[in-house]
């Protein structure tokens, strides 16, 4: 089952909806779609959970307006989805860019319906380096990504995919993963890269008042594992689980462990 939810005037986002039970709402990373969570989609409903995969605006099957790729707007889109589908006691899962968007949602919408939070390789609290935050890419590095997106988006995304994984991935898988990124709107891909470069979510962490599971690859070259120390310190009820054999793509590289950790967290 799929839903199209109007989140703004003439802007609809797509939500995949599979199974019944406690709703688990997944927010994907840059620049893919809900399809990156297929190994969770085929597993969670077997255990009595409802999988919901939201395509953020500009990605997958969702509309791609020119504006609205900042975290505040994306968080407001999440709120529209939760309320339109009347989701209760939601478990919110954010991967990479979806992580800080999930956190911003909890910060901006105090009357949310979230009972637990899962952060997967999250680009939080900051994706790029700042004073007193020496981790992640330099802001100029994201400028280079944006320039390459404007000149050769397929080549840039192929190179990005090469950084994504610690393990060697099969060619067929790499082709599939590249295609996920190529289905995104080109302007959404660029504008979201600007958000990743410029957004600062450090003040948002203290607004997370639900149990939080942080799963992160030890070999992550996109969102370094050092990010987890800031998330763990800033989120009151946070637990970090390192993935020793993964880079940024832990949901693929150690998918069985990801699913096991999420299911154990759901049962607590």
Annotated catalytic residues are 96, 220, 248
Count CB neighbours of 246 within 10 A: 26
Residue spans of alpha helices (H) in 46-170: 71-84, 98-108, 139-164
Measure the CA–CA gap between 208 and 212, rounded to whole angstroms.
Answer: 8
Measure the CA–CA gap between 78 and 124, rounded to whole angstroms.
Answer: 17
Q: At what angle do helices 186-198 and 139-164 cross, to 10 degrees?
A: 120
Q: What is the largest CA-CA distance in the chain?
A: 48
Burial class for 30, CB neighbours closer than 10 Å (0-12, 13-18, 19+)? buried
Distances (CA, A) of 80 to 11, 37, 68, 179, 240: 12, 21, 14, 28, 29
Three-point CA angle 24, 25, 29, nearest 5°: 130
Helix (H, G, I), strand (E, B) or coil at 4: strand
Beta strand pairing status for 90-95 and 114-120? parallel
């Amino acid at each position: 089952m799929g839903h199209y939810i109007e989140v703004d005037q003439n802007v609809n986002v797509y939500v995949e909806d599979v199974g019944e039970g406690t709703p688990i709402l997944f927010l994907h990373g840059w620049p893919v779609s809900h399809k990156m969570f297929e190994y969770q989609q085929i597993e969670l409903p077997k255990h009595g959970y409802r999988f919901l995969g939201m395509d953020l605006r500009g990605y997958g099957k969702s509309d791609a307006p020119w504006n609205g790729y900042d975290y505040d707007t994306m968080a407001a889109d999440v709120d529209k989805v939760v309320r339109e589908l009347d989701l209760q006691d939601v478990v919110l899962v954010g991967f990479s860019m979806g992580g800080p968007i999930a956190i911003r949602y909890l910060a901006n919408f105090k009357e949310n319906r979230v009972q637990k939070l899962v952060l997967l390789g999250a680009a939080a609290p900051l994706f790029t380096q700042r004073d007193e935050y020496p981790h992640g890419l330099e802001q100029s590095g994201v400028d280079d990504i944006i320039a390459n997106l404007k000149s050769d988006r397929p080549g840039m995304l192929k190179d990005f995919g090469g950084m994504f994984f610690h393990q060697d991935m099969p060619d067929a898988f790499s082709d599939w993963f590249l295609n996920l990124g190529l289905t995104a709107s080109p302007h959404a891909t660029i504008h979201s890269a600007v958000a990743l470069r410029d957004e600062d979510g450090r003040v948002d962490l203290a607004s997370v008042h639900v149990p939080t599971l942080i799963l992160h690859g030890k070999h992550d070259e996109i969102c370094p594992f050092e990010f987890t120390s800031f998330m763990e310190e800033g989120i009151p009820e946070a637990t970090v689980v390192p993935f020793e054999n993964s880079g940024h793509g832990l949901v693929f590289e150690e998918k069985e462990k990801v699913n096991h950790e999420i299911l154990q967290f759901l049962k607590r």
